[in-house]
Amino acid sequence: MAVLEAPTRPHKKRLSSDRQEWGSPATYFIAFVFIALCLGPVIYIILGGFRDNSQITNSPAGFPNPWNFDNYAEVLASSTFWQQVGNSMIAGLATTIGVVTLGLMASFILARYRFAGRGAMYSLFAAGLMFPMTVAITPLYILVRDLGLMNSLAGVILPQIAFGLPVTIIILVPFLKAIPDEIEEAASIDGTSRLGFFFRMVVPLSLPGVVTTGILAFVASWNSYLLPLFILSDQATYTLPLGVQAFASQYSVDTAKVLAFTSLSMIPALIFFTLFERRIVGGLTGAVKG
């Protein structure tokens, strides 16, 4: 299971000649500059929330002086913000559970059974990877409307599950293929049915892949913009990305408050990512190697 090992494997031994040719201060310097460029805008957003509007107008690139906690306090005290956090949570968790459950079942079939049309089925899902939601959004909107799911989170969740399946299946199939046949034989000798094998052996053994795909699905749902933009027009059903944008246009003169709202809305995805970074990187490795 190279997929599991990749992120935690001790780093390969470097050749001694490398270090002499490349002074390591230069490496650190370039890494530092790159990190600074990556984080600069994020820090701008977070610090901007601690300033007030006159500070931002007078010195657009300055630091908070004095520090102002009112913006964050006001956002945290507003029921709109928490309602949107709740909506995003519901959509994210439901999407994650749906993608992982359906994806695991389909991957199990694709990985462990030989049947006519198996290649075609895999290609069908893999093809979905090539076509993100943008292409299908107009008819998808009509479809969801005709199903009576406009302005409901279900209208966002179901398409998100469908569009999350390709990545999930492509990551999970190698995991399930890697389970040795001997385990399945042993299980069947012990009188376990195929379904029993699925629940008792496959689910626990593929847990790392399941976590990876689950996190990817959750973060994708948490950040999803286009689909909610089409489906959710009632403020009460807004997820955070829509809420952030509505807030930004509603309070366009109150830059500091917009920045506070924006930085608070990115915290959950960042926490999730930090906790599971190794798994995500590991899962991507598996996907690349196929």
Partner 1 sequence: MLLAGPAIVVFVGFVILPVVLAGYYGFFRWKGFGPATDFVGFQNYMIIFADSAFHDVLRHNGFILVLSLVLQGPIAIVLALLLNRKIRGRSLIRVLIFVPYIISEVIVGIGWGLMLQTSGSVNGLLENIGLGAFQRDWLSDPSIAIWSLMVIISWKYIGFAVILFLAGLQSIPDELYEAAAIDGASYWQTQRSITLPLLGPTVRIWAFLSIIGSLQLFDLVFIIWGQYVASTAGTSTMATYMVANGRTSGNFGYGSAVAVVMFLISLVIALIYQRFVLSRDTAGALTEGKK
Restricted to residues 40-59, the positions that interact with partner 1 (CB under 8 A) are 41-42, 44-45, 48, 57, 59
State which residue, 36 or 236, has the beta carbon closest to partner 1: 36
Contacting range for partner 1; rule: CB under 8 A; set: 21-29, 70-78, 185-193, 205-213: 21-29
**Structure tokens of 142?**
């009509």
The conformational region for residue 12 under phi > 0 = left, psi -120 to 50 = alpha, else beta, is beta
**Structure tokens of 53?**
């509007």
What distance in Å separates the CA atoms of residue 267 and residue 90, rounded to the nearest whole number? 17
Contacting range for partner 1; rule: CB under 8 A; set: 63-71, 76-84, 115-123, 203-211: 115-123
State which residue, 170 or 187, has the beta carbon closest to partner 1: 170
Is there binding between residue 226 and partner 1 (CB under 8 A)?
A: yes
The secondary structure of residue 201, as a DSSP letter, is: I
Those residues whose C-beta lies under 8 Å from the C-beta of residue 219, and which sit 6 or more positions away, are: 269, 272, 273
Name residues contacting partner 1, limited to 118-137 (CB under 8 A): 119-126, 128-132, 134-137
Number of shown-chain residues binding partner 1 (CB under 8 A): 107
Other C-beta atoms lying within 10 Å of the C-beta of residue 39: 11
State which residue, 115 or 180, has the beta carbon closest to partner 1: 115
Residues 285/6, Cβ–Cβ less than 8 Å: yes
109 phi and psi angles, rounded to 5 deg:
-60, -45
Cα–Cα distances in angstroms (integers) from residue 60 to residues 33, 55, 57, 111, 179, in the given order: 22, 7, 6, 55, 56
Is there binding between residue 6 and partner 1 (CB under 8 A)?
A: yes
Is there binding between residue 219 and partner 1 (CB under 8 A)?
A: yes
Name residues contacting partner 1, limited to 239-258 (CB under 8 A): 240-242, 244-245, 248, 255, 258
Tell me, residue by residue from 71 to 110, as one string, x for binding to partner 1 by CB under 8 A and - for no binding.
---------------------------x---xx-xx-xxx
